[in-house]
């Protein structure tokens, strides 16, 4: 199976990014985690993206906050799908990160999830890998069914408490 690359702009993004790592672990998808900054270590970020396909990666998650150009820089240097994860920053509630990640010019797409939407970033990456992996597709369906059952159970609990 191809690997997922989880790239973040700073180790200060880890509390958010760990939620993506946990999902990848749950689905037993191989992954690597790195800190490469579009601004502080641009050479490393670009080199990683250029070599990602030949290094066995199938999808890249790019997580960053503030002027969050990381996912876009990664996407500019590979034709692998890049999932953008805008990380909530301290001053603008993550709107800065969201717009910096999502507003890509035509030709260089970044599939951007919600602000701090780390679990969805991992799930989207897994769904991309699952296109060529029936076992992974089955795991995704099982997970969806479990999530559905959990919400139905919550409905029962709330209804039992408030409905006479």
Binding-site ranges for ligand RP5 (CB under 6 A): 9-10, 12-13, 37, 64-66, 87, 89
| Closer of 64 and 98 to ligand RP5 (Cβ) | 64
End-to-end CA distance of the chain: 52
Quote the tokens at residue 84.
């953008």
| Closer of 3 and 66 to ligand RP5 (Cβ) | 66
| Closer of 67 and 140 to ligand RP5 (Cβ) | 67
Shortest distance, position 105 Cβ to ligand RP5, whole Å: 20
Q: What is the dihedral of CA 137, 143, 146, 152, to 10 degrees?
A: -90
| Closer of 44 and 133 to ligand RP5 (Cβ) | 44
Shortest distance, position 89 Cβ to ligand RP5, whole Å: 6
Q: Answer whether 104's CB lies under 8 Å from 69's CB.
A: no
| DSSP letters for 43-79 | HHHHHHHHHTTTTTEEEEEEEEESS--HHHHHHHT-S
Shortest distance, position 163 Cβ to ligand RP5, whole Å: 44
């Amino acid at each position: 199976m191809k690997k997922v690359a989880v790239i973040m702009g700073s180790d200060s993004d880890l509390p958010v990014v760990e939620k993506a790592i946990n999902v990848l672990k749950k689905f037993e998808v191989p992954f690597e985690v790195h800190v490469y900054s579009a601004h502080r270590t641009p050479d490393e970020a670009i080199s990683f993206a250029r070599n990602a396909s030949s290094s066995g990666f199938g999808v890249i998650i790019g997580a960053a906050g503030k002027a969050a150009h990381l996912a876009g820089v990664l996407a500019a240097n590979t034709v692998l799908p890049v999932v953008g994860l805008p990380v909530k920053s301290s001053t603008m509630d993550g709107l800065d990160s969201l717009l910096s990640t999502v507003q890509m010019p035509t030709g260089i797409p970044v599939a951007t999830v919600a602000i701090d939407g780390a679990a969805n970033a991992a799930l989207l990456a897994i769904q991309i890998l699952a296109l060529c992996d029936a076992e992974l597709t089955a795991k995704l369906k099982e997970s969806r069914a479990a999530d559905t059952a959990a919400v139905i159970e919550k409905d029962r609990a709330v209804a039992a408490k408030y409905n006479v």
